[in-house]
Every structure is written in structure tokens, then in C-alpha cells.
Amino acid sequence: MEQRLGLEASIAIAEVVCRCDVDIVAAYPITPQTHVVEHLSELVADGELDAAFVPVESEHSAMSVCCGTAAVGARTFTSTAAQGLALMHEILFIASALRLPIVMAVANRSLSGPISIWNDHSDVMTERDVGWVQIFAENAQEAADLTIWSFRLAEDRRVSLPVMVNFDGFILTHTIEPMLMPDKEMVQAFLPPWEPLLKLDVDEPISMGPVGIPDIYTETKQVQQHLLTQAYGPIVETLNEFAQHFKRTYKPIETYRSDDAEVLLCTMGALSETAMEVVDRRRKQGQKVGLVRIRLWRPFPFEDLYRAVGNVPVLGVMDRAISFGGPVGPVASEIKAAFYHREQRPKIVEFIAGLGGRDVPLSDFGRMFDSLYTTGETGKIPAPTIIGLRE
């Protein structure tokens, strides 16, 4: 059964984590994710969740606790944002290398400096190579659903990898939205009992995380790359199982009104819904515009992207972060690399928008689509553009 409620995404995530019957919550507060762990502390204190709630002294310690608890077979959850995610950085590599099925919700927020507590994707883009499965939500319903799904995927013995659920800070964390909240029985019917692939056990001792001498290090990294890329199959399979069970469908790459599009814009996260509104308005004006929305960031769904873009001649990419000193937009550079060896590839136009929580109104998306049409008419690809930049 599901109940229609009005919840902010942070509370929705905490509620489904409770329904997933986690064993451990490692908690450290940082804006804008604090409501997630605050509400979980209330659920534990009120006896609704039988779990150990571990308040730690830093995010580095939070992820260290998660590694220890997941290694002994406890269903483990934590949440963080921005500088907290950055402080976890060295331990994130350990979690994936040891194949520990931790689930973490990241309330995406700008990295300092200057100090900013508002939303962009600079935190998660900094962690794109840590070996975690990484997925993006666009609203509170998706944030809750993908958290449930993450436990199913992470604990699949073919995968046994940590999963990061990204949801936009403040845009989602502190905004109340209508959503369907499944009851515990419905969630538990989707999540089978966890049987760890690897487990620290005094009765059957194993070694985890030993020194990797030069003779074996390269091979272990190759195996790690193989495991993450091969997780794509189970990702699609378990998303399909989620759709059958909950009647809500998620795909690695999703599109909106793209079938006959003349130009496409690629987005990630909550601002995709604003972009959809602009697509609808432009369609009414006779312009054939559409969206490509990246949901699965790691492992990157190359073939899904190719199918979504098809033969469209111009593709815009809206980044929410800057790759300093590099090719400007991390998502755009990824997509350019994906199309490099293909004979049929679009002209790719780069946009940077919404840094540090700056509003991206409908008119800014309109300017992006205008630029895409200009590129199609002239054949000239403009330099990467920071949208909404004050002069």
C-alpha cells in the first residue's frame, strides 16, 4: 500500500530508509542534508526504527563507520553534502574497492570558497571517479524511490558496490511536494534479505583491504573497473523490477519530447523539470525542441545516450559545475568524449548554469534553446557560456 503525503525530499528519504529496515545510520549534520539524519534520529529514538544511530565527529568518520559496519554485514546508510562529501573523499575509494554495499544520499551543494550552502553539482562532480554507482533524482518521489532501489542494487551479489543518490540541495531537500509513500510491507517485499558477498567473521576470517603491491595493484583496478561497468546490466534489471513492483519507471537515460526534435538539451537533476516547462512552451510555438536527462552518472550509460540523441544535429549540455582549467563543463566533456569516435555525432554546445544556487528561470532555458538553433543554422559552435553571468 502507498499513502499520498506532502513531504520534503529529506524527510521522504529518511522515511524510506526506515522502511528499508537499516541496521546502522552514521550521522553528521551539514546543510542542506541535516534533515535526513535528524529525522532518522527521531525514528530511532521513538522506536520506529531498530537501528544503531551513530553520531560521529566528522564526515570522514561517518564513512569510516559505514565501511566497518557494512564489512560485518550490517545494512548501512549515511547522508552528506558538499564539504562533507569532500571530507569523505579518501574513504569513498575504500568503500568501493572493498565492495561494501553502502547507500548514501547526497544533498548536492556548492563547494567552498567562497562559502556557499546553496545548490549546484560541484560536490558530486568532484567525486565522479571514486568507483561508486551514482544516480540523480529530479523530485522528492524520485529521491525516495531511488533510495529504496539503491539498497536492492547495492546488495545484489553481482554488484556489491556502494550507491550514491544525488538530489538537489534546497531545491528538493527543503521543499514540500506531494508524493506516494510505500508502507514497510511493500518495501520489504521488494528488498530480499541481504546475504553479504564478503563479510568479516571471526569464525571464518578473511582479509579485507590489504596492501596492494605493484605486482597486483593494476589488476585489482582493472577488476574494479570491470565490476562497475558490468553493474549496468543489474542496474537496468533492478530498475525494471522496481517499475513492476511500484509502478514507477526509471531509466539510465530519460528523454522528454525528443522523438522528432531538431535540437536537444541535456540536463541532470531537479532543473530538468523547469526545462520541461520550456520545452512545452516552445513546442506550442512550433519549435521542435526536446530534452535528454541523465539519471545514471556512473557507470555512464553510453549506448542509452546514443539512442536518445539519435541523429539530432545539435545537442546542448547544461552543467552545474566547472572543471577549472579544463574543458569547462564536466558533463559536457564526458559527452564529447562519448561521441568522439562515432561517425554520426551532434554539434555539442556547452552551458554552465545555476552555480551556487543562482536561479535558472524559464528565460535562461529559452536562451539556451535559441543558441542551439543558431548553431544549427550557422554551423558554428559557440564557446562555453555561463548562463546568467552578471557583467
C-alpha cell at 38: 535528524
Residue 325 lies in a domain: yes
Q: At which of 246, 267, 298 does a domain end?
A: 246
Residue 53 lies in a domain: yes
Per-residue confidence (pLDDT) for residue 391, from 0 to 100? 79
How high is the mean pLDDT of the chain?
A: 97
Half-sphere exposure of 141 (CA within 13 A, CB side): 14
Please check whether residues 140 and 268 belong to one and the same domain: no
Question: What is the residue whose three cell numbers read 532518522?
Answer: 40
Burial class (CB in 10 A: 0-12, 13-18, 19+), 388: middle
Residue 127, pLDDT above cutoff 90: yes
Residue 349 lies in a domain: yes
Per-residue confidence (pLDDT) for residue 328, from 0 to 100? 86
Q: At which of 246, 278, 304 does a domain end?
A: 246
Distance CA 350, CA 259 (A): 22
Amino acid at 39: H
Q: Mean pLDDT throughout 287-297?
A: 98
Per-residue confidence (pLDDT) for residue 14, from 0 to 100? 98
Amino acid at 284: K
Q: Tell me, what CATH number does 238's domain have?
A: 3.40.50.970
Please check whether residues 273 and 210 belong to one and the same domain: no
* Other beta carbons within 10 Å of 362: 11
Please check whether residues 287 and 242 belong to one and the same domain: no
Q: In this structure, is the dihedral angle defined by the CA atoms of residues 185, 187, 189 and 191, taken in order, positive or negative?
A: negative
Confidence of residue 24 (pLDDT cuts 50, 70, 90): very high
Residue 302, pLDDT above cutoff 90: yes
Q: Mean pLDDT throughout 353-363?
A: 97
Please check whether residues 100 and 208 belong to one and the same domain: yes
Domain with 101, as residue range(s), is 2-246
Burial class (CB in 10 A: 0-12, 13-18, 19+), 265: buried
In the 8-state DSSP scheme, what is residue 46?
T
Residue, of 308 and 195, whose pLDDT is higher = 308
Residues with Cβ < 8 Å from 37, sequence gap 6 or more? 14, 25, 27, 28, 29, 78, 79
Per-residue confidence (pLDDT) for residue 326, from 0 to 100? 86
Please check whether residues 316 and 279 belong to one and the same domain: yes
Residue 46 lies in a domain: yes
Q: Tell me, what CATH number does 288's domain have?
A: 3.40.50.920
Residue by residue, DSSP assigns 142-190 as: HHHHHHHHHHHHHT-TTT---EEEEEETTTTTT-EEEEEEE-HHHHHHH
Amino acid at 17: V
What is the domain count for the chain? 2
Please check whether residues 168 and 287 belong to one and the same domain: no
Residues 145-188 pLDDT 10s = 999 999 999 999 999 999 999 999 999 999 999 999 999 999 99
Beta-strand relationship, 253-256 and 133-136: unpaired
Instruction: State if pTM tops 0.95.
Output: yes
98 and 71 Cβ atoms separated by less than 8 Å:
yes
